[in-house]
């Protein structure tokens, strides 16, 4: 049973990634996605990471909010470039 409230750090741990704030910031900066690529279809996920993300997003469980936060953060550059070109 998972008793902690999910956080971005815990999500990175669950995905088998470095969960330090510096590593999370680097990951987000270096893995930006265009708006046409859904988070779970990003080419950098392993099958297990993909399955974890999609299953919790579909269940809309306690992890879904954190998955949504990661999704937003991985799409920020595309959103910023779109807004500056309008």
Reported as a single tens digit per residue, the pLDDT across 40-51 is: 999 999 999 999
- Summarised one tens digit per residue, pLDDT across range 40-82 is 999 999 999 999 999 999 999 999 999 999 999 999 876 555 5
CA 68 to CA 75: how far, in whole Å? 11
Say what the pTM is.
0.83
Place of tokens 């990661």: 70
Domains and CATH numbers, the chain: 8-33+45-84 (1.10.10.1130)
Burial group, residue 10, by CB count within 10 angstroms (0-12, 13-18, 19+): middle
């Amino acid at each position: 049973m998972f008793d902690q409230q999910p956080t971005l750090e815990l999500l990175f741990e669950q995905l088998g990634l470095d969960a330090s704030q510096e590593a999370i910031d680097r990951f987000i900066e270096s893995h930006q996605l265009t708006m046409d690529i859904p988070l779970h279809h990003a080419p950098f996920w392993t099958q297990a990471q993909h399955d974890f993300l999609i299953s919790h997003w579909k269940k809309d469980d306690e992890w879904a909010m954190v998955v949504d936060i990661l999704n937003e953060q991985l799409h920020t550059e595309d959103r910023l470039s779109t807004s500056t070109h309008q």
